[in-house]
Amino acid sequence: AVLETFDSGVLTLVLNRPDKLNAFNEEMHMALRTGLERARDDTDVRAVLLTGEGRGFCAGQDLGDRDPRKGGPAPDLGHTLETFYNPTLRLLRDLPKPVICAVNGVAAGAGANIALACDIVLAAQSAKFIQAFSKIGLIPDAGGSWSLTRILGEPRAKALMMTAEPLTAQTAMDWGLIWRAIPDEDLMTEAQSLALRLAAGPTVGLGLTKMLVQAAATSDLDTQLDAERDAQRTAGQTADYAEGVTAFLEKRAPNFRGD
């Protein structure tokens, strides 16, 4: 349910249930988790690229898996989140490497919020982000109630979530929700080139940068200054820092190894 390829430091994960617009079933959840765990544990992996097969990125939860007409007790959706979605969101957040998301088409429900949990989000011009949850009586999950509120502020976050109106890639970019909207035909080339560039970067420093930015959401300035001090101490001890300064002084491009 997830295609995995590795090349030049980039682990590419492709959500692969195109007939269902890559909606999540349990198998796809576990395959994505396995891929992210590999990205975390394999030191050869220095960046992750997440995208979807076919015309959609991800339509959120597979609603065919939970047909109420089939009867039986109502499923415990809190359990579904705790078991399947929340571990993935935490893996994305805690992975000390850049995760690039190429949103190749519609991203709805949890699919939208998983995309927005990635570190750098590129989206095809034709892609749309839909907080689809309210259409079926649910609340925005997969971290959306947190991330959208933080990025957009309450007025836009509430309106998007309560109306479930599709947001175009262009507006998502204009609102600062994603890094760039890209012409459809250029999306994958640009996303791959960005992933390769980051995979050839100073991996420890990039990972620390990610952690600092995320910590800023809940830190005061004093705490953050302390965190910067500690992180810079670590970065300053890497071989990549020595290489970066040496390359600068020698007026050449650095050759970062990721340690």
Contact with ligand LHQ (CB under 6 A): which of 53, 119, 141, 240?
141
| Crossing angle of the two packed helices 203-216 and 239-249, in degrees rounded to 10 | 110
Minimum separation from the CB atom of position 111 to ligand LHQ (A)? 6
Residue located via tokens 């109420």: 68
Q: Does 182 bind ligand LHQ (CB under 6 A)?
A: no
Structure tokens at 123: 């989206």
One of 3, 136, 159, 162 touching ligand LHQ (CB under 6 A): 136
Count of residues near ligand LHQ by CB under 6 A: 23
- Judged by CB under 6 A, the residue of 130, 191, 194, 208 near ligand LHQ is 130
Dihedral (CA of 34, 40, 46, 49) sign: positive
Q: Which two tokens stand for residue 76?
A: 């415990």
| Per CB under 6 A, 106 contacts ligand LHQ | yes
> At closest approach, how far in Å is the CB of 113 from ligand LHQ?
8
Euclidean distance between CA atoms 140 and 204, whole angstroms: 33
Question: CB 61 → ligand LHQ: shortest distance, Å?
Answer: 3
DSSP helix/strand/coil, 219: coil
16-75 residues in contact with ligand LHQ (CB under 6 A) are 20-21, 23, 59-64
Residue 20 CB partners (closer than 8 Å, separation 6+): 59, 62, 64
Long-range contacts of range 236-242, CB-CB < 8 Å, 24 or more positions apart? Answer: 238/202, 238/204, 238/205, 240/202, 240/203, 240/204, 240/205, 241/202, 241/205
What's the closest the beta carbon of residue 140 comes to ligand LHQ, in angstroms?
9
Q: Does residue 254 bind ligand LHQ (CB under 6 A)? A: no
Nearer to ligand LHQ, 144 or 254 (CB): 144
Give the interface with ligand LHQ as residue ranges (CB under 6 A).
Answer: 20-21, 23, 59-64, 77, 80-81, 106, 108-110, 130, 132-133, 135-136, 138, 141
